[in-house]
A and B are shown apart, each in its own frame.
Chain A
Amino acid sequence: MKIFYQTFGKAKKKFSSFLNRFFKKKRTRIGIYGPPNAGKTTLANRIARDWTGDAVGPVSEIPHETRRARRKEDIIISGANGATVTIDIVDTPGVTTKVDYHEFLEFGLEKDEAIIRAREATEGVAEAMHWLREDIDGVIYMLDATIDPFEQVNIMMVGIIESRKLPVIIVANKIDLPDASPARIRSAFPQHPVIAISGLEGKNTEELYETMIERFG
Chain B
Amino acid sequence: MPHKCTKCGREYKDGSTEILRGCGSCGGKKFLYVRKDDIHKDVLEEKPVGEIAGEAGAEVLEVRTGQDKGVEMYDRVETIRIVSPGTYELNLEKMAEGDERIISVGKEGVYNIDLLSFSRDEKKRKRRKR
CB A122 to nearest CB in B, in angstroms, measures 5
Q: Are B87 and A100 in contact (CB under 8 A)?
A: yes
Partner pick for A98 among B61, B90, B126, CB 8 A cutoff: B90
Given contacts A122-B90, A135-B129, contact A190 B96 (CB under 8 A): no
Q: Are A150 and B87 in contact (CB under 8 A)?
A: no
Q: Are A129 and B95 in contact (CB under 8 A)?
A: yes
The answer to whether A187 has its CB under 8 Å from any CB of chain B is yes
* CB < 8 Å A-B pair total: 99
Q: Are A188 and B17 in contact (CB under 8 A)?
A: no
Number of A residues whose C-beta is below 8 Å from B?
Answer: 37
What A residues does B64 contact at CB under 8 A? 150-152
Q: In the complex, what distance in Å separates the CA atom of A126 from the CA atom of B98?
A: 10
The answer to whether B51 has its CB under 8 Å from any CB of chain A is no
Q: Determine the residue in chain B with the shortest Cβ distance to A116.
A: B86
What A residues does B63 contact at CB under 8 A? 150, 152, 155
Q: Are B33 and A190 in contact (CB under 8 A)?
A: yes
Q: In the complex, what distance in Å separates the CA atom of A191 from the CA atom of B79?
A: 29
Q: Are A191 and B14 in contact (CB under 8 A)?
A: yes
Q: Are B99 and A130 in contact (CB under 8 A)?
A: yes
What A residues does B19 contact at CB under 8 A? 155
What B residues does A191 contact at CB under 8 A? 1, 14-15, 33
Scoring A129, A135, A187 by chain B CB atoms within 10 A of each residue's CB, the highest score goes to A129
The answer to whether B26 has its CB under 8 Å from any CB of chain A is no
Q: Determine the residue in chain B with the shortest Cβ distance to A129.
A: B95
Q: Are B20 and A155 in contact (CB under 8 A)?
A: yes
The answer to whether A56 has its CB under 8 Å from any CB of chain B is no
The answer to whether B16 has its CB under 8 Å from any CB of chain A is yes
CB A37 to nearest CB in B, in angstroms, measures 17
Q: Are A114 and B86 in contact (CB under 8 A)?
A: yes
Given contacts A97-B73, A163-B15, contact A190 B86 (CB under 8 A): no
Q: Which of B81-130 contact A (CB under 8 A)?
A: 85-93, 95-96, 98-99, 101, 125-126, 129
Q: Can you give 17 contacting A-B residue pairs, CB < 8 Å?
A: A115-B86, A118-B86, A122-B90, A125-B92, A125-B95, A126-B79, A126-B95, A134-B129, A150-B63, A155-B19, A155-B61, A159-B17, A160-B17, A163-B15, A190-B33, A191-B14, A191-B33
Chain B residues close to A by CB (< 8 Å):
1, 14-17, 19-20, 33, 58-59, 61-66, 70, 73, 79-80, 85-93, 95-96, 98-99, 101, 125-126, 129
Given A97-B91, A152-B65, A155-B17, 7 further pairs, Cβ under 8 A: A97-B89, A100-B88, A101-B87, A122-B88, A125-B90, A150-B63, A160-B92
Give the 9 A-B CB pairs with smallest separation, nearest first: A101-B86, A162-B15, A115-B86, A129-B95, A159-B17, A118-B86, A187-B59, A99-B88, A122-B88
